Amino acid sequence: MSKVILITGTSTGLGVSIAVQAAQAGHEVYATMRNLDKRATLDAAADAAGVTLNVLPLDVQDSATINAAVEEVIAKSGRIDVLINNAGAGFVRSTEQATEEDIQWVMDVNYMGVVRCTKAVMPHMRKQRSGHVLTVSSVGGLVGQPFNEIYCGAKFGVEGYMESMASYITPSFGIHFCVVEPGGIQSEFAASVLKQVEQSGGMLDDEYLPILQKYIGGAQSRQNEGIYQTSDEVAAVVMECVNSDTPPIRKRTSDWAEAFCGLKTDLDPDGQKLQAQVVKQFLS
């Protein structure tokens, strides 16, 4: 069945792949981005795939643009079946080195952006008594990693936010919540992280430098360990969840990601057992 899907962060990488694959599956897609001047990559991918996308401005840091985009979708299509929170930003810097502005920016884009967009669609989904909010998280939402503590903290927050909403909104209103957890993605995302390091002062010559050099120096060897997937591969997992009548609470996107998070997820890989326990504990 065709669904009306609203996607954030579709100017590059994973967002482009999700938008195109969703349209190829026959869904009505509203692809959004902060700056429509950067839509060339999306348009080219849509043309190559022979699909049509509705493209709207939406800045996850600006509630006014979020609400305007949601209202336009409702006005044109009458409903929103799926929200895909894809917009996000990486950040590599130790806590001591990060400025307060850095930290606020990372949390605002990666956590508050998800909250703002989810809040905007909830009244419509609740009225429908159906819907699906899917958020692209990361294995960094389950496992803390060197120099990624600010980013991982934001993603841990997203995981808790989505899991909490699933505990009472899903059984009460039929709205599903899901986090998709990739490892590395071969896209502009990784390049943007390194660019961000340089723009925020580069590698600082302090006691953290040799540790950071070890971390970055191992990136090449990690590429040969199966960490990195293409955007299309991750998007295919996202679409599996979108098309499921009973989507998981959480879903890793590769064998590597599954193994990496195994110590935390083996007893309850998709999060459904824990959700049932929470519902029984607090709402039965």
Residue that wins the pLDDT comparison between 204 and 129:
129
Question: What kind and span of H or E run contains 19?
Answer: helix 13-24
Task: Report the C-alpha dihedral over residues 184, 234, 73, 110, rounded to 10 degrees.
Answer: -20
**pLDDT confidence bin for 196, thresholds 50/70/90:** low
Mean pLDDT over all residues of the chain? 93
Which residues are within 8 A (CB) of 184 and not within 5 positions of it... i.e. 6 or more apart?
A: 190, 222, 223, 227, 228, 229
Asked if residue 54 lies in contact with residue 271, where contact means CB atoms within 8 angstroms, the answer is: no
151 catalytic residue (yes or no): yes
Residue spans of the domains in the chain: they are 4-283
* Residue bearing tokens 């998070």: 261
Determine what percent of the chain falls in helix, strand and coil, rounding each to the nearest 5: 55, 15, 30
Total residue count of the chain as it appears in this document: 284
Q: Say if CB 239 and CB 18 are below 8 A apart.
A: yes
Torsion region of 2: left, alpha or beta (phi above 0 gives left; psi -120 to 50 gives alpha) = beta
Q: Which residues of 187-196 are buried (b: 16+ CB within 10 A; e: fewer)?
A: bbbeeebeeb
- Superfamily the domain 4-283 falls into: NAD(P)-binding Rossmann-like Domain (3.40.50.720)
Residue pair 278/166 in contact by the 8 Å Cβ criterion? no
Order across the sheet with 4-7: list the strands.
54-57, 28-33, 4-7, 82-85, 131-136, 175-181, 250-252
pLDDT score recorded for residue 228 = 87
pLDDT for 192 equals 59
The confidence score (pLDDT) of residue 28 equals 98
- DSSP states of 205-268 as a string? SSTTHHHHHHHHHTHHHHHTTT-EE-HHHHHHHHHHHHT-SS--SEEE-SHHHHHHTHHHHTTS
- Model confidence at 217, in pLDDT bands (50, 70, 90)? confident
pLDDT grade, residue 60 (50/70/90)? very high
Tell me the pLDDT tens digit for each residue of 158-194. 999 999 999 999 999 999 999 999 998 876 545 556 6
Pairwise pLDDT comparison (34 vs 225), residue with the higher score: 34
Q: What are 236-272's pLDDT values in tens digits?
A: 999 999 999 999 999 999 999 999 999 999 999 999 9
- Over residues 66-84, mean pLDDT: 98
Contact 11, 36 (CB under 8 A): no
Residues 6 or more apart in contact with residue 25 via CB below 8 angstroms: 239, 243
What is the tens place of the pLDDT at every residue in 109-154? 999 999 999 999 999 999 999 999 999 999 999 999 999 999 999 9
pLDDT at 218 over 80: no
Q: What pLDDT, on the 0 to 100 scale, is given for residue 187?
A: 61
- Interhelix angle for 149-173 vs 272-283, to 10°? 60
* Structure confidence at residue 212 as a pLDDT band (50, 70, 90): confident
* Of 30, 111, 151, 228, catalytic: 151
